[in-house]
Amino acid sequence: MEKDNILEIKNLHVTFYTEDGIVRALQGVEYEVKHNETLGVVGESGCGKSVTSLTIMRLLPKPQAKVEEGQILFRDKETGQEINLLELPEEKMRHVRGNRISMIFQEPMTALNPVYTVGDQIMEAILIHNPETTRQEARKKAIEMLKLVGIPAAEKRVDDYPHQMSGGMRQRVMIAMALSTNPDILIADEPTTALDVTIQAQILDLINRLQEQLGMSIILITHNLGVVAQNADRIAVMYLGRIVEYAPVREIFHDPKHPYTQGLLQSVPRLDRGGLKEPLPGISGNLPSPYNPPPGCKFHPRCPYVMDRCREEEPSAVEISPGHTVRCWLHVKGEKSNE
Ligand code: SF4
């Protein structure tokens, strides 16, 4: 594992065995997260971006989901040790989950318990992960966390129930809860999708500010490239269980190589499209059924540049410049494929 990295996902394959058929949800997913950086993971719903984070957290539904292959290497900041999360005993994984890696979701109402006050729920997170803390200390810390995430009159609102708060406030509470244990990595899965545009911007600013203040790495998962433009250092674009392009944020926005990334960029409003030589009118068609994916390149039924070879053979990921990989026949020259 490279010393700058806190997380490395290697050749991850996950399959779902369902009554309706088999879904190869992840096919050789690889990415890394550096200390204190934000990685944006982008793609349409069903592309595997959330399955990847559930695999990191070891929260895949059992027995339907199976990790067929791969490694998830995590460097524990406390001990400096490198561990494969997929091989960690469940008891130790429970410590990692919540303490070292925390997660926030799209709709906080489903993650918050409606019958407990927000203060009780933050306190519970603190007490579970730090059993030596007293309830008084935990309440003090809960109030501190609510202040940190910008909840006004935190001393009073700590006793509110989730339904007494707005959607934006509830998302702030979720962030407070996720960060109350001072994790090394925060996984934010569509954290702003359910919110209106102004509140979205405020929540993203908040996450950025907290990252600087507390020092942590973030995996920001979204279907909207616009969300990661200001917030990510590097971006992984996913399509039907594969990473089709992976690059520093500037390269994704100024010199996107994969036709799918180019199409996604067309759907981002107010984008400087100077870097796109042949603008696409967005992406036509729908994501194919994961039960019955097309042969060859999985994007070929929607790709404006499709060639015969694309319909038959799937391209491997090729590094076209340092840190920039793309999975497309248009960028494979000779034997340069790295797989
Ligand atoms: Fe399009 Fe072919 Fe590239 Fe797939 S491999 S994205 S179909 S050009």
Would you say residue 42 has pLDDT above 60? yes
Yes or no: say if 118 and 165 are a contact pair by the CB < 8 Å rule.
yes
The distance of Cα 53 from the centroid of its chain, to the nearest Å, equals: 6
What residues contact residue 146 under an 8 Å CB cut-off, 6+ apart? Answer: 118, 119, 122, 154, 157, 158, 172, 173, 176
Q: Write the pLDDT tens digit of every residue in 301-331.
A: 999 999 999 999 999 999 999 999 999 999 9
Does 272 score more than 50 pLDDT? no
By CB atoms closer than 10 A (0-12, 13-18, 19+), residue 132 is exposed
> Mean pLDDT across the chain, nearest whole number?
89
Mean pLDDT of 75-86: 87
Q: For residue 65, which of 105, 122, 32, 22 has the smallest C-alpha distance?
A: 22
pLDDT of residue 331: 93
Cis peptide before 259 (omega within 30 of 0): no
What is residue 240's DSSP assignment?
T
State the pLDDT confidence band at 334, using cuts at 50, 70 and 90.
low
How far from 217 is each of 51, 88, 116, 139, 285, CA to CA, in Å? 19, 21, 30, 26, 35
Atom of ligand 1 nearest to the CA of 259: 6
303 lines ligand 1 (CB under 6 A): yes
Q: Please report the pLDDT score of residue 129 as a whole number.
A: 81
Q: What pLDDT is attached to residue 182?
A: 87
State residue 2's pLDDT score: 83
Instruction: Report residue 311 as tokens.
Output: 């319909």
Evaluate whether 27 touches 12 at the Cβ level (below 8 Å). no
* 330, burial (CB in 10 Å: exposed 0-12, middle 13-18, buried 19+): middle
Amino acid present at 38: T
Q: Which atom of ligand 1 is nearest to the CA of 297?
A: 4
pTM attached to this predicted model: 0.90
Report which protein residue has its CA nearest ligand 1's atom 3.
Answer: 328
**Residue among 242, 245, 328, 333 whose CB has most ligand 1 atoms within 8 A, to mutate:** 328
pLDDT of residue 27: 96
Atom of ligand 1 nearest to the CA of 307: 2
Edge-first strand listing for the sheet containing 217-222: 101-104, 185-189, 217-222, 38-42, 234-239, 242-248, 324-326, 318-321
Helix residue ranges per DSSP H, the chain = 49-56, 90-95, 108-111, 118-129, 135-148, 154-157, 167-179, 197-214, 225-229, 249-254, 259-266, 308-312
223-271 pLDDT per residue, tens: 888 888 888 999 999 999 999 999 999 999 999 999 999 999 887 654 3
pLDDT band for position 333 (cuts 50, 70, 90): confident
pLDDT tens-digit profile of 98-137?
889 999 877 766 778 899 999 999 999 899 888 889 999 9
